[in-house]
């Protein structure tokens, strides 16, 4: 595998960062996860735009223009023949001293990995996930805004640990006032009849690109789509629930906190929207060509 590190494609064994990089020392940096489908990088420009927005929010200047970043992603995919895979962009604050001061890091680091990923086993897409709500509260938006895709994912990891310790794959996190926020790495949707509901961004969830794509596809296919605050009561009484994310795509949920959701199997709306998403991802206009 060839990894893009600071402008050069190098073998995986040579892709290293300094122990003094503040991305390692303090989680000081940002990232994006992107998919490639059928030889195209899915919604590349949208992902790169969000990367730069995250960097702007933490006062980090990326040493490439957005166009240069897009070209570097495509070149890395091409070098690894990553026609159907997963791309991770990582921007670190760069090498500095052992203090917190980010202005002591003169040159940010740029890493691009083009590989594969399987977030959940295939059986969960067919049979659905069992998940729980957890005690770990999502970061307050004015502490570390979840729309910043930072390298500090400890909040999410602590919630993930709770889920794994309870024998399930995923967890739903609530915000600081008890409203449903998101899963540890995915957005959450409730379906009731022809209405699709997801928490608003101000609740503390990431405004995901897959989330927005599913919302647009649903609206174009007869669903009423709205953002609304929800409690666990709303989850327990939903007809259908599913999660969305770049790595997860769209995965059904059939049980939360031992409460069966709907009939306890992936529902018709979830299956329809999953197919609509797959069809959209396969269209040439949905991404930038690799070859």
pLDDT per residue as tens digits for the range 51-79: 999 999 999 999 999 999 999 999 999 99
Tell me the pLDDT of the chain averaged across its residues: 96
Q: What is the pTM of this model?
A: 0.94
Q: Identify the pLDDT of residue 291.
A: 86
Residue 152, C-beta contacts closer than 8 angstroms, at least 6 positions apart = 26, 27, 28, 144
pLDDT per residue as tens digits for the range 93-104: 999 999 999 999
Q: Please give the C-alpha separations between residue 56 and each of 51, 106, 153, in angstroms, as whole numbers.
A: 9, 16, 18
Q: Identify the pLDDT of residue 233.
A: 98
Asked if residue 88 and residue 162 are part of one domain, the reply reads no
In a domain, 287, yes or no: no
* Domain end (from 115, 148, 169): 115
In a domain, 76, yes or no: yes
* Domain end (from 79, 98, 115): 115
Q: Identify the pLDDT of residue 208.
A: 96
Asked if residue 221 and residue 110 are part of one domain, the reply reads no
Question: Within the chain, what is the greatest distance between any pair of CA atoms?
Answer: 56
Of 8, 149, 216, 260, the active-site residue reads 149
Quickly tell me which residue has 């980010």 as its tokens. 102
149 has catalytic annotation: yes
Tell me the C-alpha distance between 210 and 33, whole Å.
11
Residue 104, classified by CB atoms within 10 Å of its CB into exposed (0-12), middle (13-18) or buried (19+), is middle
Residue 118, C-beta contacts closer than 8 angstroms, at least 6 positions apart = none
Asked if residue 253 and residue 132 are part of one domain, the reply reads yes
Residue 76, classified by CB atoms within 10 Å of its CB into exposed (0-12), middle (13-18) or buried (19+), is buried
The boundaries of the domain holding residue 9 are 2-115
Asked if residue 184 and residue 54 are part of one domain, the reply reads no
pLDDT per residue as tens digits for the range 15-35: 999 999 999 999 999 999 999
pLDDT of 119 strictly over 80: no
pLDDT per residue as tens digits for the range 200-249: 999 999 999 999 999 999 999 999 999 999 999 999 999 999 999 999 99
Residue 88, classified by CB atoms within 10 Å of its CB into exposed (0-12), middle (13-18) or buried (19+), is middle
Asked if residue 144 and residue 266 are part of one domain, the reply reads yes
Long-range interactions of 281-285: CB distance < 8 A, separation 24+: 281/35, 281/37, 281/42, 282/37, 282/38, 284/40
Q: Binning pLDDT at 50, 70 and 90, where does residue 121 land?
A: confident
């Amino acid at each position: 595998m060839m990894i893009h590190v600071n402008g050069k494609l190098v073998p995986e064994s040579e892709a290293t960062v300094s122990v003094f990089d503040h991305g390692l020392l303090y989680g000081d940096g940002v990232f994006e996860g992107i998919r490639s489908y059928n030889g195209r990088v899915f919604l590349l420009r949208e992902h790169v735009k969000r990367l730069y927005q995250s960097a702007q929010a933490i006062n980090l200047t990326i040493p490439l223009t957005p166009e240069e970043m897009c070209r570097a992603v495509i070149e890395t995919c091409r070098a690894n023949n990553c026609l159907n895979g997963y791309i991770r962009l990582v921007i670190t604050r760069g090498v500095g001293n052992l203090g917190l001061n980010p202005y002591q890091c003169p040159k940010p680091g740029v890493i691009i990995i083009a590989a594969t990923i399987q977030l959940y086993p295939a059986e969960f897409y067919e049979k659905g996930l069992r998940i729980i709500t957890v005690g770990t509260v999502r970061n307050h938006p004015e502490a570390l805004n979840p729309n910043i895709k930072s390298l500090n994912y400890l909040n999410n990891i602590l919630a993930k640990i709770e889920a794994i310790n309870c024998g399930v794959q995923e967890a739903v996190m609530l915000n600081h006032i008890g409203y449903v926020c998101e899963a540890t790495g995915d957005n959450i949707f409730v379906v009731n009849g022809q209405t699709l509901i997801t928490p608003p961004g101000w609740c503390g969830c990431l405004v995901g690109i897959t989330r927005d794509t599913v919302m647009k596809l649903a609206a174009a296919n007869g669903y009423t789509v709205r953002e609304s605050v929800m409690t666990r009561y709303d989850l327990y009484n939903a007809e259908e629930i599913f999660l969305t994310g770049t790595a997860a795509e769209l995965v059904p949920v059939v049980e939360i906190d031992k409460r069966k959701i709907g009939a306890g199997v992936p529902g018709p709306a979830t299956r329809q929207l999953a197919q609509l998403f797959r069809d959209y991802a396969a269209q040439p206009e949905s991404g930038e060509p690799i070859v």
